[in-house]
Copies of this chain bind each other. A is one copy, B any other.
């Protein structure tokens, strides 16, 4: 693949993504076996949110990053599963009436609609714990130094200095008009931090020296931002049926986004520039980085 994207990239992403999605669903099905007691409803709510649907982009990104270092598929899958636990927990909580108040997610009713708000809060909390339980287990990686580094990096990426901090900024965005620098920082936290962890996790498992991680960090930062710009474009131009959720909500809430600040044409240019830059960070790698290159292309070309 020359790195120009197009049909070959899309097909590489599609085939690997389908296999990853199947593995993640099967793993959630085993992990979330419903107990025969008063907690059944809690597990049902977790299963509703975690199984079936979703692009599984983050677990795919872990696999693609692990391709660079010959890390076992099992380790990559378990780390991807832990990240998906965090991602799904954050969707459940973000969808709550007190937060973004969404009724549909991944083409299904959100958890608080299908169950109730209490079950949604607790199902999110439980998936949050499961992420760390999965990473701490020796099945994930034999080296305890690696596991503890994964735990610490994930806790930072999902907490107040990462995803949750970005979500708080996002809520404040309805009250103040943010400039481009602030929206960029918000998105680097809200979606960028967890995407960056997907790539960082492979570097941690490979015990790659910190000075050798610069290129990967650059790749992750660039695709994280490109992903969010593409999301903002889809929010304006996308198809709600394909997306499986309500669109056009940012404009309705009066929130500044990359599209409101840059306009559609410049936002699209900016996303493509970031994708090219992301791929340039992989110049030292050969065919083993093809999936990472294809994911970068896919991120701006996707229709959901």
Whether B169 and A125, one on each chain, are in contact in the complex, defined by CB atoms closer than 8 angstroms, is no
Q: Given the complex of chains A and B, what is the CA–CA distance between A159 and B38 in angstroms?
A: 15
Whether A186 and B38, one on each chain, are in contact in the complex, defined by CB atoms closer than 8 angstroms, is yes
Whether A155 and B168, one on each chain, are in contact in the complex, defined by CB atoms closer than 8 angstroms, is no
Whether A182 and B98, one on each chain, are in contact in the complex, defined by CB atoms closer than 8 angstroms, is no
Given the complex, which residues of B lie within 8 Å of A39, measured CB to CB? Answer: 160, 165, 168-169
Is the CB of A41 closer than 8 A to any CB of chain B? yes
Q: Name the interface residues of A196-219: CB closer than 8 Å to any CB of B.
A: none
Given the complex, which residues of B lie within 8 Å of A173, measured CB to CB? Answer: 38
Given the complex, which residues of B lie within 8 Å of A135, measured CB to CB? Answer: 151
Is the CB of A114 closer than 8 A to any CB of chain B? no
Which A residues lie at the B interface, using CB under 8 A?
37-39, 41-43, 46, 93, 96, 98-99, 116-122, 124-126, 128-130, 132-133, 135-137, 144-145, 147-149, 151-152, 154-156, 158-160, 164-165, 167-169, 171-173, 176, 178, 182, 185-186
Q: Given the complex of chains A and B, what is the CA–CA distance between A284 and B85 in angstroms?
A: 43
Whether A171 and B118, one on each chain, are in contact in the complex, defined by CB atoms closer than 8 angstroms, is yes
Q: Do A155 and B167 form a contact, CB below 8 Å, given A160-B42, A160-B43?
A: no
Among B99, B133, B145, B186, contact of A144 (Cβ-Cβ < 8 Å): B145
Q: Main SS of the interface on chain A?
A: helix
What's the minimum C-beta distance from A8 to chain B, rounded to whole angstroms? Answer: 39
Given the complex, which residues of B lie within 8 Å of A165, measured CB to CB? Answer: 39, 42, 126
Among B37, B126, B152, contact of A164 (Cβ-Cβ < 8 Å): B126
Whether A129 and B164, one on each chain, are in contact in the complex, defined by CB atoms closer than 8 angstroms, is yes
Among B41, B98, B154, B158, contact of A118 (Cβ-Cβ < 8 Å): B98
Closest to A86 in B: B129
Q: Given the complex of chains A and B, what is the CA–CA distance between A133 and B145 in angstroms?
A: 14
19 contacts between A and B (CB under 8 A): A38-B176, A38-B178, A39-B160, A41-B168, A42-B164, A42-B165, A42-B168, A96-B117, A98-B116, A98-B117, A122-B168, A125-B125, A126-B160, A129-B158, A136-B148, A136-B151, A136-B152, A144-B148, A148-B151
What's the minimum C-beta distance from A124 to chain B, rounded to whole angstroms? Answer: 8
What's the minimum C-beta distance from A246 to chain B, rounded to whole angstroms? Answer: 18
Among B42, B119, B133, B182, contact of A155 (Cβ-Cβ < 8 Å): B133
Q: Do A159 and B133 form a contact, CB below 8 Å, given A122-B164, A122-B167, A164-B126?
A: yes
What's the minimum C-beta distance from A114 to chain B, rounded to whole angstroms? Answer: 15
Contacts A42-B160, A136-B149, A136-B155 supplied; 17 other A-B pairs, CB < 8 Å: A37-B185, A39-B160, A41-B172, A42-B164, A93-B122, A93-B125, A96-B117, A99-B118, A118-B171, A128-B128, A129-B156, A129-B159, A129-B160, A132-B152, A135-B151, A136-B148, A144-B147
